[in-house]
Amino acid sequence: MSRRFDLVSVGRCMVDLYCDQVGTPLSHGQSVSMYTGGCPTNIAVGASRQGLRVAMLTRVGDDDTGRFVIETLRREDIDTGHITVDPNARTPMVMAAMEPPDRFPLTWYRERAADLEVDVSDLDDALLGDTTAVLLSGNTLSRPHGAAAARHLIERCKALGTRVVYDIDFRPALWFTESPAIPDGASRYTTRAAVPPAEIAATLQSVLQGVDLLVGTEEEYVALMGIDDAAQAFDAARARIPGTAILKKGKDGAMVAPPNALAVSAGGFSVRVFNTLGAGDAFISGFLAGWLRDAPFEQCLARANASGAIVVTRHGCSPAMPYDAEIAHFLAHTAPAGLSPQDDPRLQRLHAAGSRPPKRRPLCVLAIDHRTWFEDVAGPGREADIAAFKHHAVSAARARFEREGWMHAFGVIIDSQFGESMLRALRRDDAVWLAEPIEVPGVFPLQVMGPGGDAGLGLRERPRGGAVKVLLACTTDTTVQARQVSLMQQLQAACNAWSRELLLELIPRECEVDIAACMHEMLDAGVTPDYWKLPLPATDAAWKAQRTAVERDPACHGVLFLGGAQPLDTLAEGLGRYVSDPLALGFAVGRTLFERPFRAHLAGAPEDLDALADELIRLARPWVEA
């Protein structure tokens, strides 16, 4: 019988704070990047990215960090319906310093950790019976009620025919007992005492009898069995379980020991290590992506070792987890070529593409990010009028799309200079596709916003979500164009680093400019937009040439056509020629729609924003109803 999930991951769920300054202790750090973390959570993300249907069973606090975790997991297509929000606990955090190649010290913040409050009441037979496997983290057993819940979970899985994966996940710093503050008031704080190793081993062993897949490092097997010799500890653990045991060996690969059969070993891959944190979690997710599809152990190990090899080259744990397409590319191309993942642009593009929101087609966009035009038309001292108009125009368009039931097709390009109030609202509106410009308006050659014109610093100030839009005026001046291409390479690198989609609008500065040639020039330079925004092609041949450029990057979503301030009837007719083309996503139109109502707004006449919305709907209808 088919089950809804391939994997339910149970246990540690938290926020990882990774120091952005590499090669220095936390005391010398300045900023951090925020990710979801905890071994079961990282494994859930990795497994989902490799195509498994995954749910998470844990607890988070009733706090903003807990909401961050849940929303992040939802974006990873992980079912969060069994994550309990605990009002009496807090979502824990850990801070990680980055001192490659072998120092990554952790500072834990796990007071009243919500994930340690998981108990028998959180376990649901309907969920456990509707998944192929459950992954249990050994850290869940570090509290008595957690150990009781783990034993109950395994008992129910055995009764329901659900496989159990046990990740030993031993962190000595997280095993402690707590005592209340000293009664005489000498101390205000709860005191801690480390749990004796023998007690830890006995607790970790209490669930072995029901394990189908046991995973750990040499150090973890030593802690599990209380035997100092790693080989003996592994053999002893293997003898205690009815299923298969895996020994992770880091850069040396891993060994899989099935019951009553010879062990299978596979070496690791040679890569340039940046961050070892998360490598073991990536290994498990890769192995499970094969094992839960009944692949041979050799294939499971190849996928697992590839996953770990990729993750050690990146910042963070969960965001570094590779996608299915990355694993296939790494095994077929990157590793055979002797490349480290950092040196394979195609692999990096696949990772950036995998982390994007799903493709939206059609995409009918109100482009109201014009800044210089609004200033020129309004004149000095009318900034508040511009801002008010933009807010009202976007609100009217959104309301109309919502009434039509077309929110899946609605998008907005808007700036922070005059659209700040609406931009803030749209950043919280998941129903609306959003792009924000980064080019300095009215300037040629291209300049981007950000301290000192630094694209990376400009993106760092923006919240995640939404595309980065840049308008590039292509020129036949080869010296100037080379400078613009160089700046676009920097912007592309910043978008990759900050996981932002790139919308590149190309317009010709001189009539001799060939847009298709400019597209190829960008692609040759490693600039790979997620969206192209282009003028309507003048001829079928021009569109054919542009399509060829789009098809060079299979990860590209496609093309949005700009309006170019054409009359509405002319624009509607031109757009209609591309409705059935799969590489044409839709349009991003501005002045055709808003010029007349904005001039009325400035003159104190009725704005007629309903007419603006009607005209936008008219352009959208053929795309939505196609």
pLDDT in tens, 560-586: 999 999 999 999 999 999 999 999 999
Pairing of strands 93-96, 433-437: unpaired
Burial 181-200 (b: 16+ CB within 10 A, else e): eeeeeeeeeeeeeeeeeeeb
- Residue that the structure tokens 């045991």 belong to: 245
Q: What average pLDDT score do residues 97-109 get? A: 90
**Confidence bin at 180 (pLDDT 50/70/90):** low
Q: pLDDT per residue over 268-301, tens digit each?
A: 999 999 999 999 999 999 999 999 999 999 999 9
Beta partners for 85? 60
Do the beta carbons of residue 163 and residue 134 sit within 8 Å?
A: yes
**Confidence bin at 181 (pLDDT 50/70/90):** low
Tell me which residue of 41, 34, 38, 37 sits closest to 17, measured CA to CA.
34
Checking if the pLDDT of 186 tops 70, the result is: no
pLDDT of residue 190: 60
**Confidence bin at 600 (pLDDT 50/70/90):** very high
Q: What is the value of pTM for the model shown?
A: 0.91
Q: pLDDT per residue over 415-442, tens digit each?
A: 999 999 999 999 999 999 999 999 999 9
Beta partners for 176? 194
Beta partners for 434? 412
pLDDT of residue 482: 97
pLDDT of residue 3: 96
Percentages of the chain per state (helix, strand, coil), in multiples of 5: 45, 20, 35
pLDDT of residue 217: 97
Cα dihedral: 19, 23, 29, 34 (round 10): -10
Checking if the pLDDT of 185 tops 60, the result is: no
φ, ψ of residue 503 to 5 degrees: the values are -110, 110
Q: pLDDT per residue over 4-48, tens digit each?
A: 999 999 999 999 999 999 998 999 999 999 999 999 999 999 999
DSSP secondary structure code for residue 140 in this structure: G
DSSP secondary structure code for residue 99 in this structure: B
**Confidence bin at 225 (pLDDT 50/70/90):** very high
Please provide the size of the chain in residues.
626
Question: Where is 588: in which H helix or E strand?
Answer: strand 584-589
Burial 433-453 (b: 16+ CB within 10 A, else e): bbbbbbbbbeeebbebbbeee
φ, ψ of residue 474 to 5 degrees: the values are -75, 140
| Helix 279-291 × helix 39-49 angle, to 10° | 50
Distances (CA, A) of 388 to 125, 402, 603: 54, 21, 14
Do the beta carbons of residue 265 and residue 294 sit within 8 Å?
A: no
Q: pLDDT per residue over 227-272, tens digit each?
A: 999 999 999 999 999 999 999 999 999 999 999 889 999 999 999 9
Burial 465-503 (b: 16+ CB within 10 A, else e): bbbbbbbbbbbeeeebbeebbebbeebbebbbebebbbb
pLDDT of residue 131: 98
Who contacts 1 (Cβ-Cβ below 8 Å, separation ≥6)?
none
Checking if the pLDDT of 509 tops 60, the result is: yes
Question: What DSSP string describes 293-338?
Answer: TT--HHHHHHHHHHHHHHHTTSSSSGGGPPPHHHHHHIIIIITTTT
Kindly calculate the radius of gyration of the chain based on its CA atoms and give it in whole angstroms.
Answer: 28
Checking if the pLDDT of 63 tops 80, the result is: yes
Checking if the pLDDT of 191 tops 80, the result is: no
Tell me which residue of 340, 339, 309, 336 sits closest to 322, measured CA to CA.
309
Query: Does residue 25 or residue 504 have the better pLDDT?
Result: 504
In this prediction, what percent of the chain has a pLDDT beyond 70? 98
Q: Which of 192-201, 302-311, 388-397 has the lowest mean pLDDT?
A: 192-201
Please count the CA atoms within 13 angstroms of the CA of 127 that sit on its side-chain side. 21
Checking if the pLDDT of 407 tops 80, the result is: yes
Q: pLDDT per residue over 337-360, tens digit each?
A: 999 999 999 999 999 889 888 889
Q: pLDDT per residue over 112-129, tens digit each?
A: 999 999 999 999 999 999
Identity at 358, one-letter amino acid code: P
Question: Where is 258: in which H helix or E strand?
Answer: none
Q: What is the mean pLDDT of the chain?
A: 94
**Confidence bin at 179 (pLDDT 50/70/90):** low
- Residue that the structure tokens 């707590």 belong to: 178
